[in-house]
Amino acid sequence: MLRTQIGDLSLPSPLLTASGTFGHDPAALAFLQPGDLGALVLKTVTPEPRPGNPPQRMAEFPGGVLNAIGLENKGLDYWRREVAPQLEQVSMPVVANAGGHSVSDYVAMVQAFSAMRGVAAIELNLSCPNVQGGIQFSTDQNALAEVVAACKSQAQKPLWVKLSPNVGQIQPLAIAAAEAGADALTVCNTLMGLLVDWRRRRPILANGTGGMSGPAVKPLALRLVWEVKQVVDVPIVASGGARCADDVLEYLVAGATAVQIGTASFRRPQAISEIAQELRQILEQEDLSLQELRASLVWPNPVSC
Amino acid sequence: MVAAPSAASVIALVEEHRPVGPDAFLLQLALPQLPDSLAPGVFAMLSPEDGSGPEIARPFSLYDCPGPNQVSFLIQTLGCGTRALAALPPGSAVRCTFPLGNGFQVAAAERTVVMVAGGVGSAPFLLYAQKRVALGAGANTHFFFGARSGERLYDRQAFASLAICSHFATDDGSLGFAGNVLAAVEAALADNTIPAEALFLACGPAGLLHGFASFARARKLDAWLSLETYMGCGYGVCNACPVPTEAAGALGAWPYARTCTDGPVFSLRDIQF
């Protein structure tokens, strides 16, 4: 009932983890029931180890959280040695997420992930708001096209490109990524935000700014999914504050093929299984299929006043 | 450190709130099931299931296991997360991910143990004290419990009624030793009430723990701390609870440890604190 196709990749469900919210390895899968998760999207890996930002790395506000973890990860060599072998035992597709500072960094990551049997697809994190450098890939369509084309030429696996919401117009970037060869677009990364401790006259996060996620960002991400759907044909993987089946269905109706669940898993480690259960019930009760719901949004006619 | 059995995320039901001071209460929950053995210092992530709390659950050390499938947590009402838990009437559903983290190793009976707590930092030590009494080691188990005032020595009767050596300290002198709990520990070391070779365990507010860390380093004590940091998930996936590691320590292969899965109990040798 929930089976979902993203390009050549067949997934048991349209529900995916969001990179950075379900760990560096498959350990947290123990909280989920088989068949509920469509693909395990793991935390960003970079060519070299990165210690990440000093604490405080996360803070909350009504409706969401702000994080600046800073891509803490032990680097590609460690991942290849310690994590990749575990992925071969995972029963659903695994999407590896690549980070870096330069075109050559991303190309090296794509080459490495392509050679790993346990990796089914590669998501490019071109838009982390919490690290220095690399920001031009998410805001400049020429830079984006260059890095995506370079990665695509080396990719032996489907290549997903995660877009940033921190841009004036997302459509030119979506078109650039799709034309450069992206097999799917993830819409979107976190929104850059700031929380302030006014008594200390300091940002709450040690990094200053951080990436906003959680229910508060859903309307914005929904709008971006809709806008991207108007200009590209590649599948869209939505990401932004979804925490229940209704949220997921809203994204599908707006044009997404699959939906990543991120911040909701923090409070509820089994959120994805609960949402899958709820989704099956709704589809059964209302006699609907995911297929007929996808991209079915009817836009209102403009009313002149 | 003792690793927790694998955690489950379940719906627990509120059985009781029991006020234990002007700003704290014991939250007793019924769980569908409980692991056979729980180390003192393991914790749960708790949040109201009805969505009345914030997006992020809050971590609490296991306080007591009062009956079959029952657990209780000592909670100081401080912000929106703890207020939301305080407002739940009996019968309410609480999302409970438990047991999490590495707890305190319970020392062999012949070794003297000195527990140092401030405020709700007493939480991991009730179980510890119970386990020491069960080992027949109550006489060489010392519990130093400090707070601003006597009424903030939350649930002190629970400790006073155990066959251990409890030492209370209050900043305002309203109960027990007049002064900081570390001053009480220092006095006990000076008059040989406790030996410097004891195992020292501490939990409490950041100020107390920093003071304890300097105190323990200066005297080369075998010291362990249960840390509290901001946590996003509690089960190791978000990387929001880093604690800097000591390069020469057991965790020194990486600059940060995760409080949730590498701790919350750390040897002072292993972390920069």
Question: Tens digits of per-residue pLDDT, B101-150?
Answer: 999 999 999 999 999 999 999 999 999 999 999 999 999 999 999 999 99
Q: Closest residue of B to A74, CA-based?
A: B254
Write down the mean pLDDT value for chain B.
95
Band the pLDDT of A128: cuts 50, 70, 90: low
Tokens in use for B113? 């143990």
Contact B254 A43 (CB under 8 A): no
d(CA A128, CA A131): 6
Q: How many Cα atoms occupy the beta-carbon half-sphere of B174 within 13 Å? A: 10
How far CA B193 is from CA of A48, B112, B173, in Å, comes to 52, 11, 21
Say yes or no: B89 and B166 in one domain. Answer: no
Task: State residue A129's pLDDT score.
Answer: 61
For residue B7, list chain A residues with Cβ-Cβ distance below 8 A: 269
Residue at which a domain ends, from B207, B228, B249: B228
Assign A295 a pLDDT band (cuts: 50, 70, 90). Answer: very high
Distance CA(B53)–CA(A62), nearest Å, equals 10
ipTM over 0.85: yes
- DSSP 3-state of B273: coil
Q: Tell me, rounded to whole angstroms, the distance of Cα A301 from its chain centroid.
A: 32
d(Cα B101, Cα A73) in Å, to the nearest integer? 21
Instruction: Determine contact: B208 vs chain A, CB below 8 A.
Output: no
Give yes or no: residues B117 and B223 share one domain.
Answer: yes
B117 and B202 assigned to the same domain:
yes
Using CA atoms, how far apart are residues A303 and B248, in angstroms rounded to an integer?
Answer: 70
Residue A111: cis peptide before it, omega within 30 degrees of 0: no
Q: How far apart are CA B112 and CA B101, in angstroms?
A: 24
Put simply, the chain A residues between 207 and 236 with a CB less than 8 A from any chain B CB are 214-215
Residue B47 lies in a domain: yes
CATH superfamily membership of A4-293: Aldolase class I (3.20.20.70)
CB of B19 within 8 Å of any CB in chain A? no
Could you confirm whether A305 is annotated as catalytic?
A: no
Residues B88, B58 share a domain: yes
Nearest to A39 by CA among A123, A129, A110: A123
| From A55, A62, A268, residue closest to B242, measured CB to CB | A55
Res B4 pLDDT > 90: no
* Cα dihedral A210, A212, A213, A215 sign: positive
pTM, to two decimals: 0.95
A148: Cβ contacts below 8 Å, ≥ 6 apart: A124, A159, A161, A176, A177, A180, A181, A182
Q: Please, which pLDDT band fits residue B3 given cuts at 50, 70 and 90?
A: low
Q: What percent of chain A has pLDDT over 70?
A: 97
Q: Is residue B245 part of a domain?
A: no
Q: A207 CA to chain B: closest CA distance, Å?
A: 12
What are φ and ψ of residue B42, in 5° steps? -70, 160
Does residue B51 sit in the same domain as residue B115? no
Task: Indicate if the pLDDT at residue B2 is higher than 90.
Answer: no
Q: For residue A21, how far is the Cα from the chain centroid?
A: 10
3-state SS of chain A: helix, strand, coil percent to 5? 35, 20, 45
Q: Which residues contact A283 (CB under 8 A, 6 or more apart)?
A: A1, A289, A290
Give the separation between CA B58 and CA B106, rounded to whole angstroms. Answer: 25
B238·A58 Cβ contact <8 A? yes
Tell me, yes or no, if B129 comes closer than 8 A to chain A by beta carbon. no
- Inter-chain contact B9–A23, Cβ cutoff 8 Å? no
| Distance, CA of B185 to CA of B143 (rounded, Å) | 10
Answer with the one of B188, B207, B228 that is the final residue of a domain.
B228
Residue B258, in any domain of the structure:
no
Where b means 16+ CB within 10 Å and e means fewer, B204-238 reads: beeebbebbbebbeeeebbbbbbbbbbbbbbbbbb
Q: Establish if B44 belongs to a structural domain.
A: yes
Cβ–Cβ of B239/A69 closer than 8 Å? yes
- What average pLDDT does range A71-84 have in this prediction? 97
CATH number at B135 reads 3.40.50.80
Domain's final residue, options B82, B100, B118: B100
Per-residue pLDDT at B227: 96
Answer yes or no: are the C-beta atoms of A242 and A285 closer than 8 Å.
Answer: no
CA B61 vs CA A123, B38, B45, B120: distances in Å? 38, 11, 9, 9
Residues B138 and B75 in one domain: no
Give the count of domains, chain B: 2
> Tokens in use for B230?
């901001």
Q: State whether residue A75 sits within 8 Å of chain B by CB.
A: no
* Chain A contact present for B273, CB below 8 A: no
Q: Where are the beta strands (DSSP E) in chain B?
A: 2-3, 8-21, 24-30, 43-48, 58-64, 70-76, 93-100, 102-103, 113-118, 141-147, 165-170, 177-178, 199-203, 222-226, 242-244, 256-258, 265-267
Q: Inform me whether the C-beta atom of residue A23 falls under 8 Å from chain B C-beta atoms.
A: yes
B10 plus B92 within the same structural domain: yes
Provide the shortest C-alpha distance from residue A66 to chain B (in Å): 10
Judge whether residue B190 has pLDDT over 60: yes
The rounded distance, in Å, linking the Cα atoms of B66 and B191 is 36
**Residues A110, A114, A118, A122, Cα dihedral to 10°:** 40
Strands B43-48 and B93-100: antiparallel
Give the pLDDT score at A236. 98
Cβ contact (<8 Å) for A267 and B56? yes
pLDDT (average), residues A114-125: 97
One domain, residues B212 and B130: yes
pLDDT for A113 beyond 70 = yes
Mutate which of A22, A37, A213, A266 to disrupt the B interface (most B C-beta within 10 Å)? A266
Q: Is B253 on the interface with A (CB under 8 A)?
A: no
d(Cα A221, Cα B226) in Å, to the nearest integer?
A: 39
How many angstroms separate the CA atoms of B61 and B40, rounded? Answer: 8
Q: What is the pLDDT of residue A134?
A: 59
Q: In this predicted model, what pLDDT tens digit does every residue of A11-47 receive, in sequence order?
A: 999 999 999 999 999 999 999 999 999 999 999 999 9
Question: Would you say residue B257 lies in a domain?
Answer: no
Q: Return the pLDDT at A301.
A: 84
Based on the fold, state whether residues B214 and B126 are members of the same structural domain. Answer: yes
Collapsing DSSP to helix, strand or coil, A48 comes out as: coil
**Chain B CB contacts of A22 below 8 Å:** 237
**Residue B94 is assigned to a structural domain of this protein:** yes
Report if residue B114 sits inside a domain: yes
| Residue B162 and residue B58 share a domain | no
H/E run at residue A123? strand A121-125
**Domain carrying residue B156:** 104-228
* Nearest CB partner across the interface for A52, out of B45, B47, B239: B239
- If asked whether residues B95 and B110 sit together in one domain, one would say no
For chain A, say whether B242 makes contact (Cβ under 8 Å): yes
CATH number at residue B19: 2.40.30.10
Nearest to B256 among A20, A51, A268 (CB): A51
Could you tell me if B37 and B153 lie in one domain?
no
**CA nearest B58 in A: which residue?**
A267
